[in-house]
Every structure is written in C-alpha cells, then in structure tokens.
C-alpha cells in the first residue's frame, strides 16, 4: 500500500532578520539567524539595558526609561541658569519669568507693547499663552514671583524650583510623548526590533544639547520641537490633517519652526499629487491649516477688541498722537485709525514685527554658520541691510531646494528625518538672524535617525554623534559666559560614552568588515574635527587671547563649527538622495546595496 502523498505545500522557512545593531555581531549589516545575535552589547548604552533584553515588556521598560530621563533632567537643573546674579538683564531665565508676569498682570492688548527694552515679548502667541498658564499657576504658590516691576531679577530658590518644574512638565506633556510615539512608528516602519527601538529612544531623550539649553541654560525649546515631532509622527501614521495642526502649533510657539516649514509643505503637497492628484485632500489640508492659525490668533484678536471696549489703550506709555509702528510705515495712510478693525491690525502687525526682527541685522552674536564664518574674511556689516537680506534669502533657498525637491517627488515616510534635517541645516547655515541655540533644530531630526533602519549601526551613530557633540561644542562659549562649563562637560561626555563615541571611545570607527574609502574618509574627517575641538579647549583654557583680538577663540569656534555643520548638511543630503533612489544607479549605490544585503 502506497504511503500518503506528499503535501503540495512546502513548509515555510523561518524568517531571517538583520542583525541587531546593539549587538557586537550586528555592525556589518549582514543577515544572520536570530540565535546568533545574543552575544554582547556593542556600546555602553546597550550594555546598561542588556539585562532587561527579552525579559521585560516594553510597557515595563518605558516607565523606567522615562523616569531615568526625568531624573537626569532634574539633576541638570541643579546647576545655575542663564543670567544668575548677572545684572542688568539677567539672561533668558529672567525673560521667561518676565513674560509670565506680563501675560498675567497686563491686558492682552499690551503684551506685545509693554516695556520692550526689558525683555519685550518676541515669540508667537502660543508662547504667550503658555507663559500665562505657568504664571497663573505660579501666582497661586507665591504672587511675589510675578509682581510687575518689583520682581525683576529675582533669584528666589523656590522660584527656581518652580521654573525648572515648568520646563520638565511642559516637556513631558508635549515632547516626550511625541518622541515615544514617533520612535515606535518609525522603528516599525524601518523593521527594527522593540529592543533596538528602546535603545534609540533612550539615546534621543538623553540628547545633551536639548538638556543643556532647556534644563540648564533655561528655555522651552522642546515644546516647539515636540509639536514638530508630533507632526512628523502624524505623517508616518498617514494623518496629514493632524500633521498640519501640530505644525501650526509649533509655529505658534516659536517662529524657528519655520526651519521645517518647506519640508512639511513639500511632503504634504507631494502626498496630494503622487501617485495621483487628490484635490479634496489638498483642500482639506489647506482648510485645516487656515483654521488652526485662526484658532491660534483668536484669543489675541478677541482680547484686543474687548480691551478697546473697556477703554484700555495698548500703548498707555505714549501721550498724544502715537507714531505708526515700524511695519505700518507704508500702510498707515490707507488705514482708518478710528475703524473697529484697527486695534486688531495693530496687534497683528506688532506681533509680526516682534517675531521677525529684521532690523537687528544679519546676525547679532557669533554663531557657527556661514555668514559669521565669512565675516572673519569679509566684514559683512559694511554692506547695506537689504543686500544682506537678499543674499541670505537666495543662499537659504539654494540650500533647501534640493532636499525638498526630493521629498516632493518622493513623498515617502522613511525619508522624513533626512529631509527635515537637511532643510534645517540649510536654514541654520544660511538664513537671517541665527542664534547659537538654533542648532537644536537640525540636530533633532538628525538624532531621530537612530530609530530608523541601521540607525544604531556604527556609520549612522558616528555621524549623528559627531553632529551632536559638535553642536554642544559650538554652544560652549554661550554656556561658559554664564558659568555652565561643568554641565556642558558632564552631559556631553556622558552621551558620548553611552553611544561609544569619541572622545570616550573609538569603537564606532573600528569596522570588522567592509572597510571602504568612505569609511576611511569619515574616520579622517571626524578625527580631524575631534582633535581640533580638544585642542581648542586646551588653548582656551591655558592661553588668553591677545588684547587686540579678544574674540580669537570664539572666532575659531565659529569657523570649525561652520565647516563641520556644512559636512553634516552634505551627509544628510547625500543619504537622502541615495535612499530616495532618485539618482541613476551608480557603482557606489550598487556596492552599498550589496553590502546591506
């Protein structure tokens, strides 16, 4: 009797997966069976989390990660802050505290007009609303913290605790949830394991630049960054309307979110055109965007009209005829100052004037961007302001058009961090009125690459780590001026140690296989910059600049930083072009694909 006929279906093969980048056997990018992966962690951050690998669920691990990140932030806040006991202006800490008293003690129509010489409000309305909320809560604890005029320059220790707490609470309500959700979605899109996603999440939350600026120097940048990450996360989920809402919120909190505006626009527009034209989607996105801006401005508009009805003047410090606002010079003759709409127009014009300070010039302080570096060779301030504005505009457009053209033609979710990073680098390097702290904007999407495909591999960690450490280094003169050199040293070296980066380790540049010309070029370039940064610190510590060149070390910092950031821009742009597959196939891309496979 014949045996049973063989089944026509072949047994399914066990799926193989890419090597875990947190394993020391997973850096070559080759495909290996899962059982060969569990050997040893590749860098200290993975080693710290290694005991929980495979034994702790993500819902148990996530609270531990958030608690650890919060403790580091609170510990960083034990140091001083910008302007501590430094009259007459007392720094950014005093600016944030002052906005809380302005928004809680004055009518809304006076917020953008009050005493502009003493930290006048110069951020969009959502920052003002946030300051109002924090000020109202703080006034319930101690009204003297926000007593107009009499509380200027206050360094009450209890007030410091409250102010630090507002930063952490704001970050944990906006930025941290947005990053957690983005990492989860982006890592799944990229095929990462939950464990690798958890390691990437810790690395992102421990990014030193954001901690140094927000929790040490003192600001609320992570609120704006959180709204941007929420917008990117919504794009990953295909929720384009929510992406528009969150990005309007980011713009409404800080105007620096314009660094990402082109990428948001081109991605959403590309989604409305490719693979086929979708007019209803375009109309819906435009309508939601307009409605979001209207809701954002509504309290300011209604408040201005209400104050007029109550007889409250927006500029009570001016007696007699009031001079037109700067932006009204060519518009005032066409407006009826007695019309009901005039107070609203006045409020909106003043807000725009405060948010975009073109009168301050191309740059105020020395920043590691193209214009400050060029100013060392060619004194730009001798040129007329309109010419410099046009030059900055053209240079910025030339730098951001390539990545956004790619994103428009290839509106793919996996390209979002690279496109956002390249665009933000272009703005940082070439735009008008850049500040040192603006480097947080290109660093954020570039750091998010850690949660993507091969994000924890040596090559990606090397470039992401290089950008972050260089970014912290360029902010050192700012931090040193307010006696914050110690937290800079501790937090930067800690992050470098956790990710196995120089100067604590050279392991990220030691390839087991696949040593190509690009690898050795990276080793040489990064090594040169790390040596330059270390040598600069030694010189600045032991040698005083010559009397005729008091800014010598700061100028050197600007030059090295601008060169390094330009390389980061080129790296992000090249990776974007390569991964978008928009360029013709080349021997380099074939080799890279063969290496990954």
Q: Are 460 and 449 in contact (CB under 8 A)?
A: yes
Checking if the pLDDT of 330 tops 90, the result is: no
Query: What is the reported pLDDT for 33?
Result: 35
In a domain, 97, yes or no: no
In a domain, 35, yes or no: no
Confidence of residue 160 (pLDDT cuts 50, 70, 90): very high
Region 13-34: mean pLDDT is 45
Checking if the pLDDT of 115 tops 60, the result is: yes
Query: What is the reported pLDDT for 526?
Result: 96
In a domain, 37, yes or no: no
Question: What is the number of structural domains in the chain?
Answer: 1
In a domain, 347, yes or no: no
Query: What is the reported pLDDT for 434?
Result: 84
Q: How many CB atoms lie within 10 A of CB 16?
A: 10
Checking if the pLDDT of 177 tops 80, the result is: yes
pLDDT digits (tens, 9 = 90+) for 259-311: 999 999 999 999 999 999 999 999 999 999 999 999 999 999 999 999 999 98
pLDDT top residue among 160 and 386: 160
Mean pLDDT (the chain, rounded): 88
Query: What is the reported pLDDT for 4?
Result: 46
Query: What is the reported pLDDT for 276?
Result: 93
Confidence of residue 315 (pLDDT cuts 50, 70, 90): confident
pLDDT digits (tens, 9 = 90+) for 539-574: 999 999 998 888 999 999 999 999 999 999 999 999
Query: What is the reported pLDDT for 20?
Result: 59
- Locate tokens 């504005």: which residue? 389
Q: Are 432 and 392 in contact (CB under 8 A)?
A: yes
Full DSSP string of 44-87: HHHHHHGGGTTTS-HHHHHHHHHHHHHHHHHHHTTS--TTTT-T
Checking if the pLDDT of 388 tops 50, the result is: yes
What range does the domain containing 450 cover? 190-216+367-582
Q: Is the dihedral of CA 231, 237, 239, 242 positive or negative?
A: negative
Region 355-380: mean pLDDT is 84
Q: Are 30 and 17 in contact (CB under 8 A)?
A: no
Query: What is the reported pLDDT for 320?
Result: 52
Query: What is the reported pLDDT for 15?
Result: 38
Containing H/E element for 17? strand 17-18
pLDDT digits (tens, 9 = 90+) for 391-415: 999 999 999 999 999 999 999 999 9
In a domain, 485, yes or no: yes
Checking if the pLDDT of 18 tops 60, the result is: no
Under DSSP, is residue 276 helix (H, G, I), strand (E, B) or coil?
coil
Confidence of residue 60 (pLDDT cuts 50, 70, 90): confident
Q: How many CB atoms lie within 10 A of CB 480?
A: 14
Q: With CA atoms as reference, report the closest residue to 293 among 257, 346, 239.
A: 257
In a domain, 553, yes or no: yes
* Distances, alpha carbon 330 to alpha carbons 113, 314, 360, in Å: 20, 21, 20
Query: What is the reported pLDDT for 272?
Result: 96
Alpha helix segments (H runs only) across 363-439: 370-377, 385-409, 416-430
- Establish how many alpha carbons lie within 13 A of residue 412's alpha carbon, considering only the half-sphere containing its beta carbon: 15
Checking if the pLDDT of 56 tops 80, the result is: no
Confidence of residue 436 (pLDDT cuts 50, 70, 90): confident
Pairing of strands 17-18, 31-32: antiparallel
**Lowest mean pLDDT, pick from 103-112, 117-126, 206-215, 510-519:** 510-519
Backbone angles phi, psi at 41, to 5 degrees: -70, 150
Region 113-120: mean pLDDT is 90
Query: What is the reported pLDDT for 204?
Result: 98
Region 211-234: mean pLDDT is 97
In a domain, 314, yes or no: no
Q: Work out the angle at residue 463's Cα, subtended by the Cα atoms of residues 462 and 469, and round it to the nearest 5 degrees.
A: 85
pLDDT digits (tens, 9 = 90+) for 497-543: 999 999 999 989 987 555 688 888 999 999 999 999 999 999 999 99
Confidence of residue 6 (pLDDT cuts 50, 70, 90): very low
Checking if the pLDDT of 150 tops 50, the result is: yes
In a domain, 322, yes or no: no
pLDDT top residue among 215 and 381: 215
Q: What pTM was computed for the model?
A: 0.91
End-to-end CA distance of the chain: 48
**Lowest mean pLDDT, pick from 24-33, 160-169, 185-194:** 24-33
Region 184-209: mean pLDDT is 94
């Amino acid at each position: 009797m014949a045996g049973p006929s063989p089944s026509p279906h072949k047994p399914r093969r066990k799926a193989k997966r890419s090597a875990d980048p947190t394993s020391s056997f997973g850096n070559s990018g080759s495909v290996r069976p899962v059982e060969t992966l569990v050997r040893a962690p590749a860098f200290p951050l993975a080693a710290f989390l290694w005991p929980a690998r495979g034994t702790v669920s993500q819902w148990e691990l996530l609270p531990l990660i958030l608690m650890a990140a919060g403790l580091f932030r609170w510990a960083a806040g034990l140091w001083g802050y910008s302007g501590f006991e430094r009259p007459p202006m007392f720094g950014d800490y005093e600016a944030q505290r002052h906005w809380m008293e302005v928004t809680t003690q004055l009518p809304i129509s006076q917020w953008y007009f009050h005493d502009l010489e003493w930290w006048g409000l110069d951020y969009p309305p959502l920052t003002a609303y946030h300051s109002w909320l924090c000020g109202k809560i703080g006034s319930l604890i101690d009204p003297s913290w926000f007593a107009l005029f009499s509380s200027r320059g206050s360094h009450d220790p209890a007030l410091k605790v409250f102010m630090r707490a507002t930063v952490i609470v704001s970050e944990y309500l906006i930025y941290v949830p947005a990053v957690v959700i983005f990492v989860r979605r982006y890592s799944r899109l990229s095929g990462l394991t939950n464990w690798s996603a958890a390691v990437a999440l810790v690395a992102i939350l421990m990014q030193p630049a954001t901690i140094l600026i927000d929790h040490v120097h003192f600001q609320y940048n992570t609120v704006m960054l959180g709204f941007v990450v929420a917008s990117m996360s919504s794009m990953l989920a295909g929720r384009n309307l929510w992406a528009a809402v969150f990005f309007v919120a980011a713009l409404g909190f800080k105007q620096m979110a314009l660094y990402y505006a082109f990428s948001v626009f081109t991605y959403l527009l590309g989604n409305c055109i490719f693979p086929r034209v979708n007019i209803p989607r375009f109309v819906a996105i435009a309508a939601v965007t307009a409605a979001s801006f209207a809701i954002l401005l509504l309290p300011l508009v209604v408040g201005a009209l209400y104050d007029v009805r109550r007889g409250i003047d927006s500029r009570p410090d001016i007696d007699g005829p009031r001079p037109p606002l700067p932006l009204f010079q060519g518009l005032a003759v066409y407006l009826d100052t007695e019309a009901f709409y005039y107070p609203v127009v006045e409020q909106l014009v003043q807000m725009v004037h405060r948010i975009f300070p073109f009168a301050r010039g191309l740059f105020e302080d020395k920043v590691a961007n193209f214009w400050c570096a060029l100013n060392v060779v060619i004194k730009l301030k001798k040129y007329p302001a309109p010419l410099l504005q046009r030059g900055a505009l053209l240079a910025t457009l030339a730098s951001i058009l390539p990545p956004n053209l790619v994103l428009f033609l290839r509106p793919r979710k996996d390209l979002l961090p690279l496109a956002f990073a390249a665009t933000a680098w272009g703005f940082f390097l070439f735009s008008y009125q850049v500040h040192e702290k603006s480097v947080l904007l290109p660093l954020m999407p570039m750091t998010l690459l850690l949660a993507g495909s091969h994000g924890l591999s040596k090559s990606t960690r090397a470039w992401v780590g290089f950008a972050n450490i260089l970014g912290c280094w360029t902010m050192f003169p700012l931090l040193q001026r307010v006696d914050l050199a110690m937290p800079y040293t501790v937090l930067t070296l800690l992050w470098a140690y956790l990710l196995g980066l120089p100067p604590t380790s050279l392991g990220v540049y030691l390839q087991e296989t696949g040593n190509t010309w690009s690898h050795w070029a990276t080793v040489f370039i990064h090594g040169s910059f790390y040596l330059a940064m270390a040598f600069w610190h030694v010189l600045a510590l032991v040698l005083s600049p010559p009397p005729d060149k008091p800014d010598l070390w700061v100028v050197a910092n600007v030059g090295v930083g601008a060169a390094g950031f330009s390389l980061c821009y080129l790296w992000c742009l090249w990776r974007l072009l390569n991964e978008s597959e928009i360029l013709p196939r080349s021997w380099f891309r074939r080799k890279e694909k063969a290496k990954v496979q």
